[in-house]
């Protein structure tokens, strides 16, 4: 980092640390404790700065240790002591550089949706029944990962097939920073394997689309009752066979945009309507974000597109026991682990890649 950039970075960190200490002092005052709303605001603001301040204090401690090690190197006469000092300096410099890099990432502007829950939509694409079976496996994969994170998964709508696949499934995933972890999963996921229905052992290629939307709160998107049409119908199971003789399934059409959401998983019409409104609200929020940020809209369209195999972001190759994320060139030969929900290595690599891209952009624009 250039000297001026370094000075600017650490001036900013000094200001953040001072603000952190100021908030801590305010939290200890009787006035703050007596005003619960103000106290909660102070707690949130203090917590938001804690990770940055902790990393900055770690960096400063490493700087002090480096100064001491260099002093020891300068004063030492014994060759062994000098060698030890050299090794200590190399280790501390590497740790300091890593801490400084983390600080740069922590100072990047936060995505306002990172703290939100998500609406996960998975749809079978090219490949018929095999694509539907793969869509079901993807949903199981995300469900397993959510369980490992302590998140809650709630199915809002699903369209199962007679062979156990899913033509479509829409679910809410709720927990700590769900969107920040899953937001890069949107796109076409491709599978290469021998389907159960294949008699000659040929490898087939199928696909499913995944969309991850930040779940909108009611305060984010207001829906005027005059702007929606609510239709009710009987729920149906695989093959169209009626599984419900009451009109409990709900279809909501948002008249200004033409968006349509259907939910039929609950036996209660009221519950299905509430679920459909949650999905509609999130789709409207995504639509508004896309309108305000055309760049985001273009990126989203390029991620999901039509569900054709050629538009894949990731390939799950069964014969080679391989998972490849084509955006970052990451390949893991741990296919079953990934499908069992062990997504950490892939998600970590994606987050690191896109954060590095954001950092490059910030430095260019600075």
Residue 358: per-residue pLDDT = 80
Q: What are the tens digits of pLDDT across the range 186-216?
A: 999 999 998 876 667 788 999 999 999 988 7
Q: Residue 330: pLDDT above 90? A: yes
pLDDT band at residue 58 using 50, 70 and 90 as cut-offs: very high
Interstrand relation of 187-193 and 204-214 (parallel, antiparallel or unpaired): antiparallel
Among 116, 171, 164, which Cα is nearest to 143's? 171
Residue 167 corresponds to which tokens in the numbers above?
């033509």
Q: How confident is the model at residue 304 (pLDDT cuts 50, 70, 90)?
A: low
How far is 245 from 255, CA to CA, in rounded Å? 28
What's the pLDDT at 242?
45
Q: Cα separation of 57 and 229, whole Å?
A: 56
Residue-averaged pLDDT of the chain: 85
Q: Which are the contacts of 337, defined by CB distance < 8 A and separation ≥ 6?
A: none
Radius of gyration of the chain (CA): 26
- What pLDDT score does 118 carry? 93
Confidence of residue 364 (pLDDT cuts 50, 70, 90): low
Asked if 327 contacts 346 with a C-beta cutoff of 8 angstroms, the reply is no
Report the percentage of the chain scoring pLDDT > 70.
86
3-state secondary structure 214-234: ECCCCCCCCCCHHHEEEEEEC
Q: Is the pTM of this model over 0.75?
A: no
Mean pLDDT of 153-167: 91
Select the highest-mean-pLDDT range: 1-15, 84-98, 222-236, 346-360. 84-98
Whether pLDDT at 295 is above 90 = no
Cα 342 to Cα 45, 63, 142, 313, 328: the distances in Å are 33, 37, 9, 18, 18
Could you tell me whether strands 187-193 and 118-124 are parallel, antiparallel, or unpaired per DSSP bridges? unpaired
| CA gap 253, 262 in Å, rounded | 9
Q: Is 93 helix (H, G, I), strand (E, B) or coil?
A: helix
HSE, side-chain direction, 13 A CA sphere, residue 309? 14
Residue extents of the structural domains in the chain: 3-106, 118-358
Tell me: the pLDDT tens digits for 232-290? 887 665 544 445 556 778 888 998 888 888 888 777 888 888 888 888 888 888 887 77
Pairing of strands 204-214, 118-124: antiparallel
Domain 118-358 belongs to what topology? Answer: Alpha-Beta Plaits (3.30.70)
Q: Give the pLDDT of residue 240.
A: 45
Check pLDDT > 70 for residue 101: yes
Q: Is 48 helix (H, G, I), strand (E, B) or coil?
A: helix
Distance separating alpha carbons of residues 281 and 156, to the nearest angstrom: 13
What does the pLDDT look like over 29-39, one tens digit per residue? 999 989 988 88
What integer is the mean pLDDT of 118-145? 94
**pLDDT band, residue 220 (cuts 50/70/90):** low
Q: Are 119 and 279 a contacting pair, CB within 8 Å?
A: yes
Question: Rounded to an integer, what distance in angstroms lies between the CA atom of residue 153 and that of residue 174?
Answer: 7
């Amino acid at each position: 980092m250039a000297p001026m950039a370094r000075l600017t970075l650490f001036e900013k960190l000094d200001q953040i640390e001072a603000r952190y200490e100021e908030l801590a002092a305010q939290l200890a005052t009787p006035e703050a404790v007596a005003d619960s709303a103000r106290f909660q605001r102070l707690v949130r603001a203090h917590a938001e700065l804690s990770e940055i301040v902790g990393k900055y204090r770690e960096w400063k401690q490493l700087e002090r240790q480096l100064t001491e090690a260099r002093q020891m190197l300068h004063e030492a006469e014994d060759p062994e002591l000098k060698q030890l000092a050299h090794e200590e300096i190399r280790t501390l410099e590497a740790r300091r550089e890593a801490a400084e890099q983390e600080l740069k990432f922590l100072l990047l502007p936060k995505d306002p949706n990172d703290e939100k829950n998500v609406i996960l939509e998975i749809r079978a694409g090219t490949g018929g029944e095999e694509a539907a079976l793969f869509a079901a496996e993807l949903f199981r994969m995300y469900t397993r990962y959510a369980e490992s994170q302590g998140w809650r998964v709630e199915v809002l709508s699903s369209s199962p097939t007679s062979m156990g696949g899913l033509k479509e499934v829409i679910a809410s995933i709720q927990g700590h920073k769900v969107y920040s972890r899953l937001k890069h999963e949107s796109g076409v996921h491709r599978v290469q394997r021998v389907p159960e229905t294949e008699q000659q052992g040929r490898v087939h290629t199928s696909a499913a689309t995944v969309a991850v939307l930040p779940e909108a709160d009611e305060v984010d998107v207001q829906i005027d009752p005059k702007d929606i049409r609510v239709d009710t119908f009987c729920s149906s199971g695989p093959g169209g066979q009626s599984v419900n003789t009451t009109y409990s399934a709900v279809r909501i059409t948002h008249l200004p945009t033409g968006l349509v959401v259907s939910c039929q998983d609950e036996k209660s019409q009221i519950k299905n309507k509430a679920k459909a409104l949650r999905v509609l609200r999130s789709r409207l929020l995504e639509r508004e974000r896309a309108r305000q940020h055309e760049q985001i809209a273009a990126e989203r369209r390029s991620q999901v597109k039509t569900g054709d195999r050629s538009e894949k972001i990731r390939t799950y190759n069964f014969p080679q026991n391989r998972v490849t994320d084509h955006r970052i060139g990451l390949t893991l030969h741990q296919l079953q682990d990934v499908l069992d929900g062990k997504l950490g290595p892939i998600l970590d690599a994606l987050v690191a890649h896109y954060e590095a891209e954001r950092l490059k952009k910030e430095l260019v624009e600075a």
